[in-house]
Amino acid sequence: MDYVDATTTKAPSADARTRDRVRDLLLELGPSTAAVLGERLGLSVPGVRRHLDALVAAGTVTATEPRRHAVRGRGRPARRFALTDAGHAAGPSAYDDLAASALRFLAEAAGEGSVEQFAAARAGEIERRYRDRVGTVATADRPAALAEALTDDGYAATVEASSGPGPAGVQLCQHHCPVQHVAEQFPQLCEAETAALGRLLGTHVQRLATIAHGDGVCTLHVPPAASSTASSTDDVRTSP
């Protein structure tokens, strides 16, 4: 292993700062290739890979092979790099701790129902904030519009076609969760947010995975627009 501890010389200090920039960018963008990271950071691909290798060795970043159907023309498809749980935990946590403490106090002082009310109010704010951007476009275009709005708020969201033997539709993926550590303790936040996103999309949606539960990405299944409208919206509105 040719990586030197950052406390031994001045050069590793520069490396450590660059690796912090790489980690922060992964936090912002979600899973990304070395080429994308290098372009954003002004580094060569070999240069950013050296830092990514160090972060992988440290356990704060993981590398995933591309899906078999991924096509990039000639050559081997590029790997994507993403933060591990340890990588997410390395970021600022003081606000997470404060928010979790506040919700625990609220639950103890006013009962568990008060946490659900708070979660519903927060979800309502999300719904109001995105309504103009999402509700004014065609139903089929709403997942992409919602992903763009979520990305602007730091969720690093993408839309991907559903694959495999499961139901048709698309998957709305949030590669970063700003309230991850709080949601681990209070799943009501995820439940209320899912209901709000379903109302914005105008269809019944299903949460397949969450970062708060240890998954690498929050994944929401959105059924095809043509088959989703009549019976599903009411189901979402009944969620907390």
Higher model confidence: residue 136 or residue 84?
A: 136
Residues 144 and 186 in one domain: yes
pLDDT for 236 beyond 70: no
Provide φ and ψ at 26, rounded to 5°. Answer: -65, -35
pLDDT digits (tens, 9 = 90+) for 176-189: 787 887 898 999 99
Full residue range of the structural domain in which residue 122 is found: 94-237
Give CA–CA dist 206/209, Å, rounded: 9
Residues 177 and 133 in one domain: yes
Which range scores top for mean pLDDT: 5-9, 97-101, 136-140, 222-226? 136-140
pLDDT computed for residue 105 by the predictor? 93
Give CA–CA dist 141/202, Å, rounded: 11
What's the rounded mean pLDDT across residues 72-84?
A: 71
Residues 132 and 54 in one domain: no
CB atoms within 10 A of CB 214: 9
Give CA–CA dist 185/164, Å, rounded: 32
Residues 67 and 176 in one domain: no
When pLDDT is cut at 50, 70 and 90, the band that residue 4 belongs to is very low
| Structural contact between residues 211 and 177, judged by C-beta atoms closer than 8 angstroms | yes
Q: Does residue 84 belong to any structural domain of this protein? A: yes
Residues 145 and 229 in one domain: yes
Residues 219 and 105 in one domain: yes
Q: Both tokens of residue 82?
A: 């993403």
SS3 34: helix
pLDDT for 203 beyond 70: yes
Residues 82 and 116 in one domain: no
What's the rounded mean pLDDT across residues 77-105?
A: 76
The beta strands (E) that lie in 25-110 are given as: 61-64, 80-83
Q: Does residue 1 belong to any structural domain of this protein? A: no
* Residue percentage of the chain with pLDDT more than 90: 43
Distance of CA 232 to the CA centre of its chain: 25
CATH number at residue 227: 3.30.1380
| Structural contact between residues 82 and 30, judged by C-beta atoms closer than 8 angstroms | yes
Supply the DSSP string of 40-89, one letter for each residue. Answer: HHT--HHHHHHHHHHHHHHTSEEEEPPPTT---SSSPPPPEEEE-HHHHH
What's the rounded mean pLDDT across residues 217-231?
A: 68
pLDDT computed for residue 94 by the predictor? 53
Among 189, 229, 201, residue whose Cα is nearest residue 218: 189
Higher model confidence: residue 234 or residue 172?
A: 172
Number of domains present in the structure of the chain: 2
Q: Does residue 4 belong to any structural domain of this protein? A: no
What's the rounded mean pLDDT across residues 105-118?
A: 94
Residue type for position 21: R
Among 134, 154, 149, 137, residue whose Cα is nearest residue 199: 134
Q: Does residue 3 belong to any structural domain of this protein? A: no
pLDDT computed for residue 44 by the predictor? 93
Query: 8 Cβ partners below 8 Å, 6+ apart?
Result: none
Residues 188 and 102 in one domain: yes
Higher model confidence: residue 25 or residue 205?
A: 205
Among 189, 199, 184, residue whose Cα is nearest residue 229: 199
Higher model confidence: residue 96 or residue 48?
A: 48
Give CA–CA dist 219/163, Å, rounded: 13
When pLDDT is cut at 50, 70 and 90, the band that residue 64 belongs to is confident
| Structural contact between residues 125 and 192, judged by C-beta atoms closer than 8 angstroms | no
Look at residues 44, 67, 89 and tell me which one is the last residue of a structural domain. Answer: 89
Residue type for position 217: V
Look at residues 52, 70, 89 and tell me which one is the last residue of a structural domain. Answer: 89
Higher model confidence: residue 26 or residue 146?
A: 146
Cα distances from 204 to residues 139, 140, 198, in angstroms, run 12, 14, 6
Look at residues 31, 54, 89 and tell me which one is the last residue of a structural domain. Answer: 89
Residues 109 and 74 in one domain: no
SS3 127: helix
Residues 170 and 225 in one domain: yes
pTM equals: 0.59
pLDDT computed for residue 191 by the predictor? 95
Hey, which residues does 36 pair with through a beta bridge?
A: none
pLDDT for 229 beyond 60: no
Higher model confidence: residue 67 or residue 217?
A: 217
pLDDT digits (tens, 9 = 90+) for 8-34: 333 346 888 888 889 888 877 888 899
Residues 81 and 106 in one domain: no
